Each structure stands twice: as C-alpha cells, then as structure tokens.
Amino acid sequence: MMRRIDVLKTAFVVLCLLSAATAAQQIPTKGLGLPADKKILIVYLSRTNNTKAVADIIHEKLGGKMVALELQTPYPADYHATVQQVVGENETGYLPPLKTVIDGPDQYDVVFVGFPTWDMKLPPPMKSFLHQYSFRGKTIIPFNSNGGYGPGSTFQTVRELCPQSTVLQGFSTRGGLERDGQLLAIKDARAEEVRKEVERWLRTVGIRK
C-alpha cells in the first residue's frame, strides 16, 4: 500500500513539473515589448514598392535604420525577362552580387528582412544578403508581400540560412501583381489595412515599443 502511495506521489510531482514546463513554453510574447537599447535594422527588397510600404510601416512603429537592398547589376525592367532570370538563378543557386553594404552589422540586435515572393521562393538577392552577413545570436524577423499566392517557402529558407539566429514568426500580406500590371497596391485604404495587420503582428511576436 505504501509503495503504491509513493508511486502516486512521484507521478504527481512529475505531472506538476511537466505542467510548469509547458506553461513556461506557452508564456505569450504579447506585451513583452522591445527594450529601448536594442538596435533595429530593416533591410528590404522591393520591386513594385509593396514590400517597401510594409517596411515603412515597421519603421514608423519601431524606428531603426532602413536599408533598401540593391544589386550591382539590376534586374531587367521587363517583368517576363526578370522572371526568366530568377528561375535560372534559383535552378543554379546563383547569388547575385549586392551593391548594398551594411556598415557595422554586429551593432544590430534585431534585423527585419523584407521581400516579395518570387517563383514561390525567397528572392536570390535576399539569399545573397543572408549568405553575406552573419547574424549569429541576433533576432531575425521576416516580412513578405506577394501577389496573392502567399509567402511560399520564403520563411523556411530564412530559417535555413540563419541557423544560429532566433527567427521569429514572419508577416505576409497581399501586395500588387506585376504580371497583370498591378504595381503598388499597398496605398490609401489598403495601406491602412496593412498598418493594422502589422500592428497586430508586432504585438503577437512581442516586438513593440
């Protein structure tokens, strides 16, 4: 009888420990905020300025340094020519050289990386950026605009390219559809909608001042 009681006591203790551990893992990030001494970098790639519109909203909310990602050799102005080039780069793993240089990347604690969805993948220039700079020990936060087909594998690729960083939940929203001649869509009333979406997302991941 005593042995059975001891077993029950042990089981109870283990259950309590497991419950405590689960509770710790489920502590919401909402409301934790961002310490004032944390430095923020917002790097974005934007062809039709929809991703830039999201970057502008993040910058409006959090401040920090904003940098547009540019290539040494820009993509063609023609949409279909760019699509063909990007498909080829994805197939071969080619990383286009960047014109953009980040001064003192180690000084930043939180790095937002923004990009459109190209070929349902992370655009090659953003792959170049994440290959070129090490953000070991930093917090990486991806954000995305797309033509209605979602982020594809972009967020997963960011996690794969930043294995020694903490990669938080990404943000994705619909922008324009260049294929159909729709360029900047995140403006006017749509911009206000996206601003509210971004605010909710920042609260969800606990990054807000």
CB 174 within 8 A of CB 185: yes
In this structure, the chain runs to a length of 209
Residue 177 is which amino acid? L
pLDDT at 33: 58
Q: pLDDT tens, 186-206?
A: 999 999 999 999 999 999 999
* The CATH number of domain 35-205 is 3.40.50.360: yes
- In the chain, the amino acid numbered 50 is N
Say yes or no to pLDDT of 22 above 90: no
pLDDT tens per residue across span 94-126 = 999 999 999 999 999 999 999 999 999 999 999
Averaged confidence pLDDT in the chain:
87
- Looking at the predicted structure, is the pLDDT value of residue 39 above 80? yes
> What is the CB-side half-sphere exposure of residue 52 using CA atoms within 13 A?
13
Which is more confidently placed, 15 or 138?
138
Indicate the domain borders of the chain.
Answer: 35-205
pLDDT value at residue 36: 67
Q: 3-class SS at 121?
A: strand
**What residues pair up with 113 in beta bridges, in sequence order?**
43, 142
User: In angstroms, what CA-CA distances link 133 with 63, 98, 122?
Assistant: 22, 11, 16
On the question of pLDDT at 58 being above 80, the answer is: yes
What's the token pair of residue 194? 């996206």
Whole-model pTM over 0.85: no
DSSP states of 143-204 as a string? EEEESSS--TTHHHHHHHH-TTSEEPPPEEEE--BGGGTB---SSHHHHHHHHHHHHHHHHH
Q: How confident is the model at residue 207 (pLDDT cuts 50, 70, 90)?
A: confident
Cβ neighbours around 170 below 10 Å, total: 21
pLDDT tens, residue by residue, 80-96: 999 999 999 999 999 99
User: Residue 132 burial by CB count (10 A; 0-12/13-18/19+): exposed, middle or buried?
Assistant: middle
* Cα 134 from chain centroid (whole Å): 16
pLDDT tens-digit readout, 130-185: 999 999 999 999 999 999 999 999 999 999 999 999 999 999 999 999 999 999 99
